[in-house]
Amino acid sequence: MVSRNKIVESIKNEVEIEKYVINLSSKHQRAIETKDLTISYNGKKNALNKTNLAFETNKITSLIGASGSGKSTFLRSLNLIHGENTLIGGQILYHGVNINDPSIDKFEVRRRIGMVFQRPNPFAKSIYNNITFALTQRAKYTKNQLDEIVESSLKQAALWDQVKDELNKSALSLSGGQQQRLVIARALALKPDILLLDEPASALDPKSTMQVEETMVNLKKDYTIIVVTHNMQQAARVSDYTAFFHMGNVIEYDLTRKIFTRPKVKLTSDYVAGNFG
């Protein structure tokens, strides 16, 4: 039988886990912020514990951490994607409004906070229709308006030059890297202000990976970007801030250069050095 003391000891260790989380000062504009965000699936142990993270506008923030540490759980929650048996406590403040509330229009939130997944998921439609599909479902546009949105979204996603002469071609005929940039363009067409990317380059070759990274860096002048990655070089290259997740806790959150050169918590330095995960 496990002694009661052992249990108390393990709970204590969990509570006393060392953390260092910066809070943005008032001079930093916040695009989105969580307060004590806690998530559990099917009544099991929390996949995310009391997470308090604020994301600066027009910056790129990387979420890093071992498999199962809660990165995707956190990212999906910002897009209000959760299954039936998911319990979500705490707040997600977006423009000062708590969007973790049943009265919130989820579709409107998802338009403003776009999400791109690990595997490119274009619709089985033409390049052009991939971008216009969601738009035409919600409002009337003229052909000229749609042409303009298609062009500007593809330009922002650095895909225009490669596809401008074949917009009626099936999106599925594009390469993986092109498909991923098309999916980014599709999200941009809805004029979001935040882009969430869950390992957007992990299924791509090195050249496509570089193109997606360049696209992210170019986009940050207009968007706030939060990106999950297992690629430490990528996090160091593209992001301004980095949050390190471990077993459902944010252990450390700081400027990327601090996380990678002189982290404050030993667990962070072990992880970025590749000692586990």
Ligand X SMILES: Nc1ncnc2c1ncn2[C@@H]1O[C@H](COP(=O)(O)OP(=O)(O)OP(=O)(O)O)[C@@H](O)[C@H]1O
Cβ of residue 37: shortest distance to Mg ion, in angstroms?
16
User: Which residue is listed with tokens 């994607």?
Assistant: 81
- Regarding 41 and contact with ligand X (CB under 6 A), the answer is yes
Q: Which of Mg ion, ligand X, none does residue 26 bind (CB under 5 to 8 Å by kind)?
A: none
Backbone φ and ψ for 229, nearest 5 degrees, come out as -150, 145
Amino acid at 36: D
Cβ of residue 240: shortest distance to ligand X, in angstroms?
21
CB under 8 Å, gap of 24 or more: what pairs does 210-216 form? 211/158, 211/177, 211/181, 212/177, 212/180, 212/181, 212/184, 213/237, 213/238, 214/158, 215/156, 215/157, 215/158, 215/181, 215/184, 216/60
Cβ of residue 67: shortest distance to ligand X, in angstroms?
3
DSSP 235-275: HHHH-SEEEEEETTEEEEEEEHHHHHHS-SSHHHHHHHTTS
Binding ligand X (rule: CB under 6 A), the pick from 28, 35, 68, 110 is 68
Q: 78 near 113, Cβ under 8 Å?
A: yes
- Regarding 73 and contact with ligand X (CB under 6 A), the answer is yes
User: Which residue is listed with tokens 């274009």?
Assistant: 122
174 or 197: whose CB is closer to ligand X?
197
64 or 154: whose CB is closer to ligand X?
64
Cβ of residue 201: shortest distance to ligand X, in angstroms?
14
Q: 124 near 170, Cβ under 8 Å?
A: yes
Query: Mask of contacts with Mg ion, 66-95, x by CB under 5 A?
Result: ------x-----------------------
Query: Mask of contacts with ligand X, 221-240, x by CB under 6 A?
Result: --------------------
DSSP code of 33? E
Going by C-beta distance under 8 Å and a sequence separation of 6 or more, which residues neighbour residue 31? 55, 56, 57, 58, 94, 193, 194, 224
159 or 248: whose CB is closer to ligand X?
248
- Regarding 178 and contact with Mg ion (CB under 5 A), the answer is no
- Regarding 246 and contact with ligand X (CB under 6 A), the answer is no
Q: Is 154 exposed, middle or buried (0-12, 13-18, 19+ CB in 10 A)?
A: buried
Cβ of residue 250: shortest distance to Mg ion, in angstroms?
15
Helix H segments across 21-86?
Answer: 71-78
Q: Which of ligand X, Mg ion, none does residue 177 bind (CB under 5 to 8 Å by kind)?
A: none
Cβ of residue 49: shortest distance to Mg ion, in angstroms?
17
- Regarding 70 and contact with ligand X (CB under 6 A), the answer is yes
Binding ligand X (rule: CB under 6 A), the pick from 51, 72, 130, 180 is 72
Residues that bind Mg ion (CB under 5 A): 72
Residues that bind ligand X (CB under 6 A): 41-42, 47, 65, 67-73, 83
